[in-house]
Structure 1
């Protein structure tokens, strides 16, 4: 049987439960932190001359993932530039996808709340109409009985 990894289980739970703004921000910040940590460590490994310590790599990754790009620390070697290009694409896409999933969750919740409100309003409007129809039916039944009684009673001469 296929067993889900911790990340897959967390993501599935994340997609099932409605998000609060606080939880959404926590997810976006976490996605950004994970991207910065991965990118900072990776650039330190592939270009140790330009990035003599992990702190410098993290600074570069933070500038890159947030698209600030001060330019004070940049990879000079070809392999560092390739890693930088891939990191930019991956990190920006990753944060954008997480943000899109959160936005989708908020939009779906708003749609469900609107639908529930419309249903409640429709029921509220339908109840008085149903009561009025029941009253009309009772009145028609009384009228039919009176008419039936009038037909069965001989006229007074």
Structure 2
């Protein structure tokens, strides 16, 4: 049970970073929905937050008020940070899995070598007895 729950609550884990990024994006969406008159629905605010945070800027909805434009600057900075954290967390998962595979191979080779050494030692003991 602990093994299942741990990735969701471990700080810095991929799950934690994804949830944090989604919460940041949702907060930015609500902010745009409140500040930007062209963002009529919450979905429009979320879309504007996503396109701004990802620096895509499709132009279908753009910040028009001074408050929304200033808020957009902070959304871009938060977007860079959040997307960088998600990218880093995904890379860490891949590197960790590659490291585990290398460790498995090393341990397999080490166990095989220990087995051969034990066999050689037993052979030497048997020869000494004879």
TM beyond 0.5: yes
Q: 1:119 aligns with which of 96, 107, 120?
A: 107
| Distance in 1 between residues matched to 2:115 and 2:55, nearest whole Å | 56
> Contact (CA 8 Å) 1:35, 1:65: kept in 2 or not?
no
Instruction: List runs of 5+ in structure 2 lacking aligned partners.
Output: 1-6
Shift of the 14–92 alpha-carbon distance from structure 1 to 2, 3 Å rule, reads closer
Runs of 4+ in 1 over 3 A off after TM superposition: 30-36
Higher Cα radius of gyration: 1
> Contact (CA 8 Å) 2:52, 2:76: kept in 1 or not?
yes
TM superposition shift of 1:69: 1.0
> Contact (CA 8 Å) 1:40, 1:61: kept in 2 or not?
yes
Q: 1:61 aligns with which of 49, 52, 55?
A: 49
1:51 paired with 2:39, answer yes
| Distance in 2 between residues matched to 1:65 and 1:100, nearest whole Å | 17
* Structure-2-length-normalised TM-score: 0.72
1:130 paired with 2:128, answer no
> Contact (CA 8 Å) 1:75, 1:84: kept in 2 or not?
yes
1:40 paired with 2:29, answer yes
| Distance in 2 between residues matched to 1:113 and 1:139, nearest whole Å | 39
* Structure-1-length-normalised TM-score: 0.62
| Distance in 1 between residues matched to 2:72 and 2:12, nearest whole Å | 30
TM superposition shift of 1:42: 0.3
Hey, what does 1:97 align to over in structure 2?
85
Instruction: List runs of 5+ in structure 1 lacking aligned partners.
Output: 1-8, 143-157
> Contact (CA 8 Å) 2:53, 2:76: kept in 1 or not?
yes
TM superposition shift of 1:94: 1.3
